[in-house]
Amino acid sequence: MMEKKTIDQSFKKWEEGNVGKVLAKFPERKEEFKFDTGEEVKRLYTPLDAEIDYENDLGYPGQFPYTRGVQPTMYRGKLWTMRMYAGFATAEESNQRYKFLIDQGSMGLSVAFDLPTQMGYDSNDSIAEGEVGKVGVAIDSLADMEILFDGIPLDKVSTSMTINAPASVLLAMYIAVAKKQGVTPDKLRGTIQNDILKEYVARGTYIFPVGPSMRLITDIFDYCSKNVPKWNTISISGYHIREAGANAIEEVAFTLADGIAYVNAALEAGLHVDDFAPRLSFFFNAHNNLLEEVAKFRAARRIWANTMKNRFKAENPKSWALKFHTQTAGCTLTAQQPENNIVRVAIQTLAAVLGGTQSLHTNSKDEALALPTEDSVRVALRTQQIVGYESGVADSIDPLAGSYYIESLTNKIEKEALDLISKIDELGGAPQAIEKGYIQQEIMDSAYKYQKEIENNERVIVGVNKFKIEEEAPKGLLRVDPSVGERQKEKIESLKAKRDNEKVKIALEKLRNACNSDKNVMPYILEAVENYATLGEVCGVMRAEFGEYKQTVMI
Q: Check whether residue 306 and residue 422 sit in a common domain.
A: yes
**For residue range 128-172, what is the model confidence (pLDDT) as tens digits?**
999 999 999 999 999 999 999 999 999 999 999 999 999 999 999
Question: Residue 339 gets which letter from DSSP?
Answer: T
Question: Residue 221: inside a domain, yes or no?
Answer: yes
The C-alpha atoms of residue 435 and residue 208 are separated, in whole angstroms, by: 14
Question: Residue 1: inside a domain, yes or no?
Answer: no
Question: Residue 144: inside a domain, yes or no?
Answer: no
Q: Check whether residue 222 and residue 304 sit in a common domain.
A: yes
Q: In this structure, are residues 489 and 140 in contact, taking their beta carbons and an 8 Å threshold?
A: no
Domain span holding position 359:
54-78+193-455
* Distance, CA of 217 to chain centre: 17
Q: Which residues of 312-343 are buried (b: 16+ CB within 10 A; e: fewer)?
A: bebeebebbbbbbbbbbbbebbbebebebbbe
**Residue 331 φ then ψ, to 5°:** -70, -10
The residues, ordered by sequence, that sit 6+ positions from 81 with a Cβ below 8 Å of its Cβ are 107, 108, 158, 358, 359, 360
Residue 218: which of 263, 255, 173, 258 has the closest Cα?
263
Q: Check whether residue 389 and residue 502 sit in a common domain.
A: no
Q: Check whether residue 254 and residue 394 sit in a common domain.
A: yes
Question: Residue 422: inside a domain, yes or no?
Answer: yes
Q: Check whether residue 489 and residue 383 sit in a common domain.
A: no
Question: Residue 284: inside a domain, yes or no?
Answer: yes
Question: Residue 64: inside a domain, yes or no?
Answer: yes
- Domain at 442, CATH number: 3.20.20.240
C-beta atoms surrounding 278 within 10 Å? 20
Angle at 265 between CA 263 and CA 266, to 5 degrees: 65
Q: Check whether residue 313 and residue 414 sit in a common domain.
A: yes
**For residue range 105-115, what is the model confidence (pLDDT) as tens digits?**
988 899 999 99
Domain stops at, among 414, 440, 455: 455
Q: Check whether residue 355 and residue 499 sit in a common domain.
A: no
The terminus-to-terminus CA distance of the chain in angstroms comes to 56
Residue 229: which of 184, 187, 166, 174 has the closest Cα?
187
Overall number of domains in the chain = 2
The C-alpha atoms of residue 431 and residue 439 are separated, in whole angstroms, by: 10
pLDDT band at 6 (very low <50, low <70, confident <90, very high): confident
**For residue range 36-49, what is the model confidence (pLDDT) as tens digits?**
777 788 878 877 78
pTM of the entire predicted model: 0.90
The C-alpha atoms of residue 539 and residue 339 are separated, in whole angstroms, by: 41
**For residue range 480-501, what is the model confidence (pLDDT) as tens digits?**
788 899 999 999 999 999 999 9
Domain stops at, among 455, 471, 506: 455
Q: In this structure, are residues 469 and 337 in contact, taking their beta carbons and an 8 Å threshold?
A: yes
Q: Check whether residue 200 and residue 246 sit in a common domain.
A: yes
Sequential DSSP letters for 46-83: -HHHH---IIIII--TTSTT-TT-SSSSHHHH-PPEEE
Cis peptide before 212 (omega within 30 of 0): no
Query: At residue 555, does pLDDT exceed 50?
Result: no
Q: Check whether residue 242 and residue 283 sit in a common domain.
A: yes
Question: Residue 115: inside a domain, yes or no?
Answer: no
Domain stops at, among 440, 455, 470: 455
550 or 545, which is more confident? Answer: 545
Q: Check whether residue 509 and residue 438 sit in a common domain.
A: no
Strand, coil or helix: what is 281? strand
Question: Residue 213: inside a domain, yes or no?
Answer: yes
**For residue range 80-107, what is the model confidence (pLDDT) as tens digits?**
999 988 888 899 999 999 999 999 998 8
Q: Check whether residue 450 and residue 513 sit in a common domain.
A: no
Average pLDDT, the chain: 93
Q: Check whether residue 384 and residue 504 sit in a common domain.
A: no
